[in-house]
Structure 1
Amino acid sequence: MTAYDSHNHLQRFADPAKIVAEMRDAGVAGCVVNGTGEDDWEAVARLADQFPDFVWPAFGLHPWKAHLASPRWLPLLESYLDRFPDASVGECGLDGWIAAPALEIQRPVFLRQVALARERKLPVTIHALKAWEPLFDAFKDEPPPPRFLLHSFGGSAELVKRLADLGAWFSFSGYFLQPRKVKVVEAFKAVPRDRLLIETDAPDMMPPEEYISHPCDEGNHPANLPSIAAGLAERLEILLEELVAQTAENHRAFFDRSGH
């Protein structure tokens, strides 16, 4: 099995080297490690340097941290993208679920990152939660780059169509294997197969207990990815091998490191 974790936060684990070894043993061939702000971009950079054949770095300012941005956040972000030309932009986005910071504070930070990704012809990973119409409004001001990923997508089948028409890709996380999230699984049946990715969002988005192959005191272990893939394949009524092969091909196409 050659599976790719298209979104995690490996930098938040105490011993990333141990986690990477366990991921490799489980059949995970690589992962995208997403920075979320000025406080962790350097940790992501160190992992990319330490595991150049395994870690695909992404640098972004998360909407939950929009109010914490320093005056130099943008040039600092650009410096990491200069240092890692094959990196992607993310995790960034809009979140209407949290009370603060308000969408009015999140929006300009998000728009600048969308513009940056488009200007540099880089893929961007987007966090969108209870902010779908604000997201479409944002895209009217700053059109997204040709490839953008809705990570841990929790929207409807109708949203899949609207977003796919704009160039969206969609990644599935194990949290949505919970029985009460059946509507999300139904939405993923509408995702074009060549736009489908899988992720752990580790150490967050814990899957149901029966899909935890690697218990971990720190939360969701990214080596749970193959179990999550098995759960999604079952629900999409396709062979696991087919899902893994398709999402691996999609992962490489989305996060293309061969040049832009």
Structure 2
Amino acid sequence: MPLHDSHNHLQRFADPARIIAEMRAAGVEGCVVNGTGEDDWEQVAALAEAFPDFVRPAFGLHPWKAHLASPAWADMLESHLDRFTNASVGEIGLDGWVADPPLETQRPVFLRQLALARARGLPVTIHALKAWDPLFDALKAEPPPERFLLHSFGGSTELAKRLADLGAWFSFSGYFLHPRKAKVLDAFRAVPQDRLLLETDGPDMLPPDELVSHPLPDGKNHPANLPRIGEGLAEALEMPFNQLAELTRANHARFFDLAPLP
């Protein structure tokens, strides 16, 4: 059963064409490549143009780069969204794990992008880490678009339920299959199944060694590891892998507004 990687950063690989070929061979039929700022949006755009049947672009200003934004960042973002009618907004969000930039700098950048996504009716991919109260405050101040995704969600069961009540979707990355992260699996058992997606966040969020089908140097996570990640999640959810694959493939299509899948 083919899979979709709902979140990665393919632009950070030295040879993305080879990575894509290996993803296809592993049974991955497409992915969403997320930009993180003005320094990589054009790389994402180039991948979307070179592999239009495989790469869907997402453009956003990541919270780690909020302090690096030029005065023209919002105009540049809109120009990329104008250029690609199949684009989404992401990766954006709030991060309390980093001290610089502080949340006070991240928040207005995040709010502006939420408003932009809502005005355009685009799905949005959100990064949230150690900033849950600020996230809920932000979503109250600037309501998100109808489709908003908490990527690589690592929160509690309680947080999953609160966010689901707001309409959130959730994508799972293989890093949370490490035994020390078992509580995150409890949260995914509470996630509505019709809002569950699968991702690698490659080259980050490496799964446990036994689930790495495509090892890379320096601990990088190959997006072709996605099927093994799916198998690990299916086992944790006590669900047949084919059922999880079909479910997440259909959910991916609905979230990113793809044509009906065969």
Q: Which residue of 2 aligns with 1:211?
A: 211
**Tell me, what secondary structure is at the counterpart of 1:127?**
strand
Which SS does the other structure have where 1:70 is aligned?
A: coil
Q: How does 1:163-174 map to 2 (within 5 A)?
A: 163-174=163-174
Structure 1 match to 2:254:
253
Alignment match, 1:241: 242
CA distance in 2, matches of 1:184, 1:257: 29
The equivalent residue for 2:8 is: 8
Quote the Cα distance in structure 1 between the aligned partners of 2:222 and 2:199.
Answer: 11
Between the aligned partners of 1:157 and 1:146, the Cα distance in structure 2 is 22
How far residue 2 of structure 1 moved from its aligned partner, in angstroms, is 0.7
CA distance in 1, matches of 2:232, 2:212: 11
Unaligned runs of 5+ in 1: none
- Report the equivalent of 1:221: 222
Please state if 1:148 is matched with 2:114.
no
Amino acid corresponding to residue 255 of structure 1 in structure 2 = F
Taking the aligned partners of 1:14 and 1:97, their CA distance within structure 2 comes to 28
Deviations 1:146-194 (A, max 9, x none): 0000000000111111111111000000000000000000100000000
**2:25 counterpart residue number:** 25
| 1:124 shift after superposition | 0.2
TM-score (norm 1): 0.98
**Counterpart Cα distance in 1 of 2:166 and 2:122:** 16
Q: Give the match's secondary structure for 2:125.
A: strand
- 1:50 is matched with which residue? 50
Query: For the residues of structure 2 that align with 1:221 and 1:227, how far apart are their CA atoms?
Result: 11
Tell me how far 1:88 sits from its aligned partner.
Answer: 0.3
The reply to whether residue 193 of structure 1 matches residue 193 of structure 2 is yes
Find the aligned partners of 2:106 and 2:69 in 1 and give their Cα distance: 10
Runs of 4+ in 1 over 6 A off after TM superposition: none
**Structure 2 residue 69 is the aligned partner of structure 1 residue 69:** yes
Residue 38 of structure 1 aligns to which amino acid in structure 2?
E
Q: Secondary structure at the match of 1:119?
A: helix
Q: Within 5 Å, give how 1:72-221 maps onto structure 2.
A: 72-217=72-217, 219-221=220-222
CA distance in 2, matches of 1:170, 1:135: 15
Structure 2: tracts of 5 or more residues without a match: none
User: How far off is 1:257 after superposition?
Assistant: 3.7
> Residue by residue, what CA displacement relative to the aligned partner does 1:212-247 show, whole Å, maximum 9, x if unpaired?
000112610000000000000000000000000000
Matched to 2:193, the amino acid is: R
Are 2:37 and 1:37 aligned? yes
Q: Which letter maps to 1:45? A: A
Q: Secondary structure of the equivalent of 1:189?
A: helix
- Report the CA distance between 1:113 and its aligned residue: 0.4
Which residue type is aligned with residue 239 of structure 2?
I
Equivalent residue letter for 1:130: K
Provide the secondary structure at the position in 1 that maps to 2:107: helix
Q: Which deviates more from structure 2 when the two are superposed, residues 173-182 or residues 159-168? A: 159-168
Structural RMSD (CA) = 1.0
| Identity of matched residues, % | 74
